[in-house]
Chain A
């Protein structure tokens, strides 16, 4: 009998209308390492949240050793022997290792005081038994990232976890730390523990797991013995078949470069690997360039740099031939930037403000007469945008009352009103329904036809393949693939670039060894 069974698990986020898990089945045998893989938004994190009691499923049941259980919160999960190590650690920096480990289930003296001695002794015992290399008396802030992760694992072992869920555990670790994590996992396996490994790194799956469950769009698409599949097969399963978007992209000649990046890098203190690594890129007039990649590989950083919200440590950026490298958003807007951000709810719009206030934000200077905003022309302008982009909203409604699709349309309308010859789209259709997505696609192609340079950053391969003239793929902050979007190009090929299976520019062996694992 399987140790853990999840049957027909369904979870609908009613606020956003996203069906995150659709009748998902997961079966984990006792004492195995079971990998759960999938792209961003495939539903693996949701599934784990349901298992750890952070969320409740709308349908389906969870069985442990054949017995049906209800996991109402993480404490209940702990009692059932389930422990989770989050991707982002939840530790108190000023507390010692022992204090952090016992937090929430502290040994007491006379029922009132924390028994520090016992805590330290017990925690040291767990550390020693499992062969970790941390001192229970040290403070968290003095530890390395790898050691902090060990503390998280110890925390779960201290609570007698039999089943450990590790969410993207290698994403923040260095190469050596990854090795030592793997050794730890093998050790835990020898001690009879069961491990669920959430990841989108195929190397780790092949290297560590016994079996693998592949998720896509909230569903389980495959369960395999790891030894029976190769990385290509896994990447094919993860990205799925090509879906042809119903868009009509007419080939045309490109003009001069409107946006250019030359060897742009972002180095971060304390990180071995640059967030962006010598990015060269060019968007020409009338060209739609797509940047694909899995989240965490530099997509967000490129967006921030072009949007003027993050400065680079090396390299130059040009907009319409003007050097805009050191400009902030304010100056970049003046230099002709239009930009539809990925985070439309916080960056792209101000939810408590009215539609009118949101519509004029990038060009309110145009509505001034003697320093006073002219209500008449603002009303006219907003009405114009609402009509032309068929946004269903009242002008004085708070934007927070609009649907996701309408918010995105409003942002799009506002950004297009600037009539720039360059426009950046980041994850423009994320979470939107098909009709709204289609609307956005048509607008993007319209811009391209009018001769604007369009840059599309997206982790949605279908839209990249359907829209882009030129495709770049980012992996670990570096461009690993650069190709024209021709007939023969398939989602599988781009998927392989995205997951690091293919790399066209892998010439610098020396740097690749010091590269830090990242997902």
Chain B
């Protein structure tokens, strides 16, 4: 890293820290006004996730799915393709994983588990790939097509989970439980944290390498910043409407699969709800940098855990917790977006 780059990174970090600080201040003011025991509420909101190993582990566990979906969005955005279908892709990944694991005859966990995750990646890639293909062929708007496909997929999966795949032996809207050997190793009991957090972090680093150093990554990034230029230089720009979308969908599918195998062991109705949308926020905070997705996902999970802890231990209501959380996200993503647009403006004038 040369000096210039260090300075650039520091500059963007100061902005982010400042924004987070302002956001926190607003949350504190909100709580001061609305809570009868503001000291406790504030304490649990900010420190709560670290007060018990159980909370900490669950917080880390929650960041896993966000890392995957955040990576998926980062790759798509970095290539100027837009995937708003993360919700459906992750949900489809979850149900496909479950179906594969329930259908497989008993075999070593690693084999069956891998097969299930491959299925999850494939379904996510396929669903997002449709949008990429439509864009390539007919110029269909990806924001719309990915969103609509996802909206339909969610309903289909809901039907499957509550209908044909529903496990009649329990009263929940869920499929049957997957076999013991397919459940990912828990590494921080009694919390739900499982081994896949290591994979998620490794994949984030791998994705960074892929984007920065490989020929595909390079072409994707060039298409991302300037398609006219890429086309002029002989890059097959059509292909790069499809490939980044497929990769993005694959990551979302993986998020769903890992949620089933690591946390829930079954596909509940709405098991991955929120993962897709929150992935967009994570990618925005990370400014589409795959490595920065790791801390961004942790930060998101921390906020969520804080809100939960404050709800459990003080008079803060669910709504207030959500509003506070939304406040922070609004400011942080606004700051991230501002940076992006500001740069574009500087360049074009």
Query: Does A495 belong to the interface (CB within 8 Å)?
Result: no
Within 8 A of A (CB), among B299-349: 343-344, 346-349
Within 8 A of A (CB), among B230-244: 230-236
- 9-residue interface stretch from A41-49, A114-122, A226-234, A359-367: A359-367
Nearest opposing residue in chain A for B212, CB measure: A373
Query: Does B169 belong to the interface (CB within 8 Å)?
Result: no
Please tell me if the beta carbons of B233 and A346 are within 8 angstroms of each other in the complex. Answer: no
Please tell me if the beta carbons of A362 and B234 are within 8 angstroms of each other in the complex. Answer: yes
CB-CB under 8 A from B199, the residues of chain A are: none
Report Cα–Cα, A12/B215, bound state, in Å.
Answer: 43
Known: A330-B236, A351-B347. A373 touches B229 (CB 8 A): no
Q: How many residues of B contact A (CB 8 A)?
A: 28
User: Binding site of A, secondary structure by majority: helix, strand, loop or mixed?
Assistant: loop
Query: Does B186 belong to the interface (CB within 8 Å)?
Result: no
Report Cα–Cα, A353/B223, bound state, in Å.
Answer: 11
CB-CB under 8 A from A373, the residues of chain B are: 213-215, 218
CB-CB under 8 A from B235, the residues of chain A are: 330, 361
Query: Does A68 belong to the interface (CB within 8 Å)?
Result: no
Please tell me if the beta carbons of B229 and A350 are within 8 angstroms of each other in the complex. Answer: yes
Please tell me if the beta carbons of A348 and B349 are within 8 angstroms of each other in the complex. Answer: no
Please tell me if the beta carbons of B222 and A368 are within 8 angstroms of each other in the complex. Answer: no
Please tell me if the beta carbons of A352 and B232 are within 8 angstroms of each other in the complex. Answer: no
Please tell me if the beta carbons of B234 and A332 are within 8 angstroms of each other in the complex. Answer: yes
Query: Does A269 belong to the interface (CB within 8 Å)?
Result: no
Known: A361-B235, A371-B215, A396-B4. A352 touches B343 (CB 8 A): yes
CB-CB under 8 A from B222, the residues of chain A are: 350, 353, 357, 361
CB-CB under 8 A from B234, the residues of chain A are: 329-330, 332-334, 362
Query: Does A349 belong to the interface (CB within 8 Å)?
Result: yes
Contact of B226 among A341, A350, A372 (CB under 8 A): A350
Q: How many residues of A contact B (CB 8 A)?
A: 36
B-contact 0/1 string along A334-361, CB 8 Å cutoff: 1000010101001111111100010011
Query: Does B5 belong to the interface (CB within 8 Å)?
Result: yes
Please tell me if the beta carbons of B232 and A309 are within 8 angstroms of each other in the complex. Answer: yes
Query: Does A400 belong to the interface (CB within 8 Å)?
Result: yes
B-contact 0/1 string along A387-423, CB 8 Å cutoff: 0000000101110100000000000000000000000
Contact of B228 among A332, A346, A371 (CB under 8 A): A346
Please tell me if the beta carbons of B229 and A361 are within 8 angstroms of each other in the complex. Answer: yes
Query: Does B172 belong to the interface (CB within 8 Å)?
Result: no
Query: Does B110 belong to the interface (CB within 8 Å)?
Result: no
Please tell me if the beta carbons of A364 and B2 are within 8 angstroms of each other in the complex. Answer: no
Nearest opposing residue in chain A for B4, CB measure: A396
State the B residues within 8 Å of A (CB). Answer: 2, 4-5, 213-216, 218-219, 221-222, 225-226, 228-236, 343-344, 346-349
Q: Can you list 22 A-B contacts with CB-CB less than 8 angstroms, sorted by A residue number? A: A328-B231, A329-B231, A330-B236, A343-B228, A346-B226, A346-B228, A347-B228, A348-B229, A350-B222, A350-B229, A350-B230, A351-B348, A352-B343, A360-B218, A364-B215, A364-B219, A365-B215, A368-B215, A371-B215, A373-B215, A373-B218, A375-B213
State the A residues within 8 Å of B (CB). Answer: 15, 307, 309, 328-330, 332-334, 339, 341, 343, 346-353, 357, 360-362, 364-365, 368, 371-373, 375, 394, 396-398, 400
3 tightest A-B CB contacts, nearest first = A333-B234, A350-B226, A361-B233
